[in-house]
Each structure stands twice: as C-alpha cells, then as structure tokens.
C-alpha cells in the first residue's frame, strides 16, 4: 500500500488559495513546521485526507510576513503561535494570538540562532 | 498530632518532567506497590499535604507554581525529588528552558535517581522522607513549645 | 443575561497528572469559552538535535514523553531510516510492532484508570492499573525498563526475544484479555458510568475533521483513519481494521479505546505467530542527508515526525507534531456549553499528554 507523501513548493501568492481549496475538499491540517534558514524560514504545512498527505512548502525571508491559516483552519492556532514564539516567524492576524505568551520561555525565539 | 509520620498525605506535581516518573508515582499508589500501606494518601490539595513528590527539571514557567505549592504546604513538610531530572536536570540539562533540578527552586530533602525512577526506589525515598518528617516535627514541636512559632 | 466569571483551572489539579492551565469563562455554571495556557512542561527538546549526535538523540526522543516513549523512539528512527535508505530486517519490524502494541495496551489501560478516577470510581481505577502492571512486567522482562526502555536504534532494535519469551507474552495477553472483560463491562455496561459518559462532549465527524482531531478521538466520531494502515513496521502484514464508533461522545471514545486494547492483543498474537527469524538490526554507515515526514499511530493518535538532515552528525531540524497538539482545538470546541463539573472529565476524554505536546 503506497500513499501520497509529497512536499510541494508554493509561492506566497498561491498559498492561501491552495489552503482554501484544501478546506473545500475536506482535507484536515495535520502539521505545521518551521525551519530556520540562514536568511529566512522554510514553512511546511501538511494536509491529510484519507491516508494521503501533502505538504506545502513556503520559503520566506526573515522579515517577510505570512498570512495566518487560522481564518480557514482555526485548529492551527497552537502550531502557528509556536512558530512565532520559538522561531520569530512573522505570521499575520492569528485567531487566538498569544503574543509570545504561549510557552513563556525565559529566552526569546530560541530557534532563531543556531547552536 | 504526635504521630504525623503514621499517616502523612502526599502531593504530587509534575514540574516539566517527561511523565515517566509521574506514572510511576501514580503506580506506587495502586495495588501492586501500594504506598497506602504506610498510611499515605495521595491528595490534590497542597494545604493538606505533608510530603511533596516532585518530578522534572523545572522550567521558567512552572518555577513560580512550584514555589507557590511549597509555600502553601503547612509546616513541617518534606520534599522528595523523583527521577534524575528532578535531581540534576538529567538528559534535559542542556535544554534552553530547563533550570536543572528541583533544588534550584525549593529545598529538597530526599533525592530518588532513576530514569524513570522505579516504584521500589520511590517508596524507598518516601520512607526515608518519613523519618526526616518525624525529625522535623520534633524540632517544630520543640520550637512551638518555646514560643518561637514557625520552624 | 447572567454575569460572566472566569475560573482558573490547573495547572495543579487533582484529576490531572500533568500540568495544563485553562481559563474557563463561565456564565453561571456553563462554560462559554475555554482559553488554554500551556508551557508548564516546555523543555525545548527539538533544539537539542543541534548539539547531540543523531544516534544519541534516539534517547532524547524517547524521553519526550514517558507514556508514549516507545512510539517516539520508533517515529524518530523510522524517519532517519527513510532518509538513509536503511532496510530494517523483518524480525526487527515485528519486534517493534509487538512493543508498540504493548505500549498501546499500557497507555489505554492507564487512561481507563484515570477516567475512572475522574468519575470518582476509585476501585475501577485500581483494577485498571492492576491489570496494567502485567504489561509493565512484560516490558521489564523483555527490555529491562518499565516505562522508558530505550530498545529502538536507527536500523533496528537493540534486544531480541526468544521463543519462550514470545510464548510468555502471548500467554499473558490471553490471560489479560479474560481479566479485561469485567473492567470493560464496568465501563460500558454499568449504568452509573454509562449515564456519566453518554451524550457528554459530542463531536460530530465534520467538526472533528475540521478541527484536526486524530486517533481514538477521530475514530469515535466515525472517521476510519488509523495511521497503522500505512503499513509501517509489520502492520502491513497483519490483519487490522480501524475501530470506529458513530456517537462521537465520551462513551464512544471510551468504547473505542477499550476495543483497541482487544485489537492490540490480537495484533500481538498475529505478530508472535508470524515473526520471522533473522538479524535484528543493520549497521548504520555515514551521516543522513535529506528530509522526510513520517506518520505513525501513537496510542493517542497520529503523530508526525520530521527530520531535516544536512550530511553531518548533527541534524538540522527535528519536528514532532504530537496527537495532543491536534486534539486540543477539538477539545476546546467540546468544552463550549458544557457544565463546569464536566470539564475535568471532558479534558480527560481526549487523553491529553502534555509533555508530548510541549516537548
């Protein structure tokens, strides 16, 4: 049994329309992951339907802001807040924004610097 | 109140541990290990507790909770640090959010190492804590008789 | 309109073995909104991959959580095996399956005990945990640890089981299955527990999918999704159908978990009968380079592991999306319009694992 497990690069313009298409098509948001690049972030949004998983891959610059998907998938607020707080990704208008008070860690954005 | 050590009540708190020690603490209260044979009751209320069983390496956020729980417990009281993270920070020592050990926040009377600490070791630690509790009670009573009040 | 008040719930609370805090906005006794505040167990384990050798990190991955310990080790190892193209020997895959199912039995029995405790049914709590000790004894006998046993390694497993041990496990399973019966009846047929659980916290299927529910929570709402069907470890060779229920209430979630315990007994028997002989691990050569997403079915639901490796002995990024992270948003939906007295029970029915969630 082979099921889809793909990573698809996507641009910021195509991103929200694709998320809405997923929603219309009854995909559920499975996972949101940020990776620190030397001069930006790599954001992966995974969606699952049935046993298939598709991951959208956004690459943004450090100061570039990303729209929040919580307007479409409210359940993603925890993971979006996590990306903001631990990595310092700029995510705009999260529904249920904790304003860096999710984990209340002593050191701000620990994942922003390597090592 | 002379025989406090005959039926001490225990409070359990998870201060950023991985859960492993916590389920072992709970397993101690169940039929196979049965810590209740020492007269111990697991309570959820710090105001009624004599022994604090605490696990984990303490992070920035739960530090104040740990302090508060400790202060809410009536004197005399004993603290048992369960698991290697509670003793020194363990594998989590290098994490950015871990202070490393319960004794960085509140005084600890008994250290129970292990990852996860086995129920036998936890019971051993609690029994040791009972002796210390009895000792503390004697001093506490003596001070109270002398009119010195707390501790 | 009734006056609104905010009641803080947790972090130290009698029904919670783990710290989580909720601000409950109440209108009289009814919850209008619940705002979670987490972070009491956040340690920052994902950051440790940058300073620990990738083989060494298996031990850290297992310590993300003490209840789902084996699964986390398995997920991490499987991801790296995919990246490094390692073919895990069949015997190791079967052994992993057996340990994984034993973990599931232990986790579900633990949950049943906590549920009984939250309902105030203390003898049932003791019974469930007494039964659970048998599985822990089997862990002890096969690996030497009770809750965290570090038996996974990249490329296979570290310990083997001989014929006698496998027979012993199957015998214990048969014995436990008999002993589970009265406990299951007490949860599912006893009118006190039934009236406490029926109709409480109903989560319809469409809402569950939208909010991102996973695991028994999703299956109790009637969606047949079980990541074990993806066929990792030895699940592809075994007979397995996702267990579902249609009601979507607390009773359904309890029912699904109890049936999953029986299913796990069955899977262990199947695996023990089919297990092939051979080596239990392959050597690991070189350093990983690449990225991969792995899904596995933890006792609490689907967990996703992501590793991005750059060809050195330190991994660039490890990400773990745990089932509870996904189950908290649907829980918040459930808490709306429920009675204050039902809050602890509803929180328990998602089987929260906070130390997984916060890592």
Give residue-wise pLDDT tens across range C310-328. Answer: 888 888 888 888 888 888 8
CA distances from C174 to C170, C181, C262, C268, C274 (A): 6, 11, 10, 10, 17
Radius of gyration of chain C (CA): 20
Strand, coil or helix: what is A51?
coil
Distance from CA of C172 to the nearest CA of A (A): 32
Is domain B4-145 given the CATH code 3.40.50.12280 in the classification?
yes
Distance from CA of B61 to the nearest CA of A (A): 6
Give C162-177 as a DSSP string: -HHHHHHHHHHHHHHH
d(CA B138, CA B144): 10
pLDDT value for C105: 92
Residue A30 is encoded by which pair of tokens? Answer: 């499975």
- Checking if the pLDDT of A115 tops 80, the result is no
Cβ–Cβ contact B47 with A under 8 A: no
10-residue mean pLDDT profile of chain C (359 residues): values are: 78 70 84 81 81 86 85 90 88 90 91 86 87 89 86 87 89 90 88 85 84 87 86 84 86 90 91 88 86 88 88 86 87 85 84 81
Half-sphere exposure of C104 (CA within 13 A, CB side): 30
Name the residue with tokens 């933890």: C298
Residue C266 burial (CB count, 10 A)? 16
Name the residue with tokens 């994490």: B95
C-beta of residue C347 within 8 angstroms of C-beta of residue C44: no
* Residue B147 pLDDT class (50, 70, 90 cuts): low
CA distances from B30 to A69, B18, B23, C135 (A): 45, 20, 11, 15
> C38 vs A103: CB contact, 8 Å cut-off?
yes
- In terms of Cβ atoms closer than 10 Å to its own Cβ (0-12, 13-18, 19+), residue A113 is exposed
> C304 vs A79: CB contact, 8 Å cut-off?
no
d(CA C86, CA C64): 24
Name the residue with tokens 């298939």: A52
Average pLDDT, integer, range B66-90: 87
pLDDT value for C51: 83
List the chains bordering chain A where 3 or more Cβ pairs fall under 8 Å. Answer: B, C
pLDDT value for B1: 42
C-beta of residue B121 within 8 angstroms of C-beta of residue C69: no
| A5, A29, A115 ranked by CB distance to C293: nearest | A5
d(CA A57, CA A66): 12
Pairing of strands B9-14, B41-43: parallel
Cβ–Cβ contact B56 with C under 8 A: yes
Residue C19 burial (CB count, 10 A)? 25
Residue C260 is encoded by which pair of tokens? Answer: 């999953």
CATH number of the domain that residue C32 is part of: 1.10.645.10
Radius of gyration of chain B (CA): 15
Task: Return phi, psi of residue B21, to 5°.
Answer: -70, -30
Alpha helices (H) in chain C, listed in sequence order: 57-62, 69-84, 90-118, 122-143, 163-188, 191-197, 205-211, 216-220, 250-274, 323-335, 343-349, 354-358
pTM recorded for the entire structure: 0.87
pLDDT value for C261: 92
The per-type count for chain C, helices as H runs and strands as E runs, is 12, 8
Q: What is the pLDDT of residues B49-62, one digit of tens each?
A: 888 988 888 887 88
Domains of chain A plus CATH, in order, are 5-92 (3.30.460.80)
Q: Which residues of A touch C (CB under 8 A)?
A: 1, 3, 5, 7, 23, 26, 28-33, 35-36, 44, 46, 48, 50-51, 53, 55, 73-79, 101-105, 110-111, 114-115
Chain B residue with the nearest C-alpha to that of A115: B96
Partners of residue A103 in chain B, C-beta under 8 Å: 61, 97
Cβ–Cβ contact B96 with A under 8 A: yes
- Of the listed ranges A76-90, B86-100, B134-148, C240-254, the least confidently predicted one is B134-148
> C325 vs A79: CB contact, 8 Å cut-off?
yes
Partners of residue A94 in chain C, C-beta under 8 Å: none
Cβ–Cβ contact C287 with A under 8 A: no
List the chains bordering chain B where 3 or more Cβ pairs fall under 8 Å. Answer: A, C
d(CA C280, CA C270): 19
Best CA proximity match to B115, nearest among B17, B13, B32, B16: B17
The partner residues of C37 in beta bridges, in order of sequence, read C21
Partners of residue C146 in chain B, C-beta under 8 Å: 24, 116, 118-119
* Cis before A68? omega within 30: no
Distance from CA of A88 to the nearest CA of C (A): 15
* Cis before B76? omega within 30: yes
| Structural domain for C251, as ranges | 4-358
Q: Which helix (H) or strand (E) holds C223?
A: none
pLDDT value for A53: 87
Partners of residue C47 in chain A, C-beta under 8 Å: 110-111
> C63 vs B31: CB contact, 8 Å cut-off?
no
d(CA C7, CA A76): 25
> C14 vs B44: CB contact, 8 Å cut-off?
yes
Best CA proximity match to A58, nearest among A27, A82, A90: A90
Q: What is the pLDDT of residues C226-264, one digit of tens each?
A: 888 888 888 888 888 888 888 888 899 889 999 999 999
Chain B residue with the nearest C-alpha to that of A101: B61
d(CA A100, CA A112): 14
d(CA B67, CA B70): 5
Per-residue 3-state assignment (H helix, E strand, C coil) for C101-121: HHHHHHHHHHHHHHHHHHCCC
Average pLDDT, integer, range A94-99: 75
CA distances from C21 to A9, B65, B70, C31, C347 (A): 37, 11, 19, 15, 11
> B16 vs C14: CB contact, 8 Å cut-off?
no
Number of domains in chain C: 1
d(CA C157, CA C280): 6
Residue C312 burial (CB count, 10 A)? 12
Cβ–Cβ contact B34 with C under 8 A: no
- What angle, 0 to 180 degrees and rounded to 10, lies between the N-to-C axes of helices C90-118 and C163-188? 30
Distance from CA of A104 to the nearest CA of B (A): 6
């Amino acid at each position: 049994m082979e099921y889809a497990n793909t990573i698809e690069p996507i641009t910021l313009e195509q991103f929200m329309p694709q998320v809405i298409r997923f929603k219309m098509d009854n995909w559920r948001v499975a996972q949101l992951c940020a990776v620190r690049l030397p001069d930006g972030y790599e954001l992966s949004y995974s969606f699952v339907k049935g046993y298939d998983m598709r991951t959208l891959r956004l690459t943004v610059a450090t100061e570039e802001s990303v729209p929040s998907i919580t307007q479409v998938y409210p359940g993603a607020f925890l993971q979006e807040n996590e990306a903001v707080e631990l990595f310092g990704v700029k995510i705009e208008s999260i529904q249920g924004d904790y304003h860096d008070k999710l984990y209340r860690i002593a050191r701000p954005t620990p994942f922003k610097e390597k090592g | 109140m002379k025989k406090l050590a005959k039926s001490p009540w225990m409070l359990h708190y998870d201060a950023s541990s991985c859960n492993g020690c916590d389920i072992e603490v709970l397993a101690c209260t169940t039929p196979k290990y049965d810590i209740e044979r020492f007269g111990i009751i697991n309570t959820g209320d710090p105001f009624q507790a004599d022994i604090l069983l605490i696990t984990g390496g303490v992070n920035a956020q739960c530090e104040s909770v740990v302090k508060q729980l400790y202060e809410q417990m009536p004197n005399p009281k004993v603290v048992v640090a369960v698991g290697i993270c509670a003793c020194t920070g363990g594998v989590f020592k290098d994490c950015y959010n871990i202070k490393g050990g319960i004794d960085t926040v509140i005084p600890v009377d008994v250290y129970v190492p292990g990852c996860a600490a086995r129920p036998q070791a936890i019971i051993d630690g609690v029994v040791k804590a009972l002796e210390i509790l009895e000792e503390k009670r004697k001093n506490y009573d003596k001070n109270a008789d002398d009119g010195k009040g707390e501790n | 309109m009734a006056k609104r008040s905010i009641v803080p719930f947790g972090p130290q609370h009698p029904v919670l073995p783990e710290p989580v805090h909720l601000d409950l906005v109440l209108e009289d006794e009814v919850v209008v909104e619940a705002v979670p505040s987490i972070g009491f167990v956040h340690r920052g384990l994902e950051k440790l991959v940058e300073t620990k050798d990738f083989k060494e990190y298996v031990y850290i991955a297992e310590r993300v959580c003490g209840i789902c310990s084996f699964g986390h080790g398995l997920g991490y190892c499987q991801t790296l095996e995919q990246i490094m193209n390692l073919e895990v020997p069949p015997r190791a895959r079967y052994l992993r399956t057996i340990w994984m199912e034993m973990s599931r039995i232990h986790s579900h029995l633990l949950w049943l005990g906590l549920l009984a405790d939250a309902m105030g049914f203390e003898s049932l709590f003791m019974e469930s945990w007494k039964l659970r000790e048998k599985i822990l004894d089997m862990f002890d006998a096969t690996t030497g640890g009770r809750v965290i046993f570090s038996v996974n390694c990249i490329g296979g497993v570290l310990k083997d089981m001989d014929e006698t041990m496998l027979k012993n496990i199957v015998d214990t399973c048969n014995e436990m299955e008999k002993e589970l019966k009265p406990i299951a009846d007490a949860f599912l047929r006893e009118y006190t527990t039934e009236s406490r659980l029926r109709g409480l916290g109903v989560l319809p299927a469409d809402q569950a999918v939208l909010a991102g529910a996973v695991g028994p929570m999703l299956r109790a709402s009637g969606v047949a999704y079980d990541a074990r069907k993806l066929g990792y470890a030895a699940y592809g060779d075994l007979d397995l159908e996702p267990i579902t229920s249609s009601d979507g209430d607390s009773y359904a979630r309890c029912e699904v978990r109890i049936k999953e315990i029986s299913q796990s007994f069955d899977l262990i028997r199947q695996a023990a009968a089919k297990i092939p002989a051979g080596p239990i691990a392959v050597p690991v050569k070189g350093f990983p380079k690449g990225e991969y997403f792995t899904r596995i079915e933890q006792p609490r639901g689907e967990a996703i592991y992501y590793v991005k490796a750059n060809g050195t002995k330190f991994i660039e990024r490890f990400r773990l999306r745990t089932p509870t992270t996904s189950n908290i948003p649907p829980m918040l939906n459930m808490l709306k319009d429920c009675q204050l007295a039902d809050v602890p029970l509803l929180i328990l029915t998602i089987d929260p694992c906070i130390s997984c969630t916060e890592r």
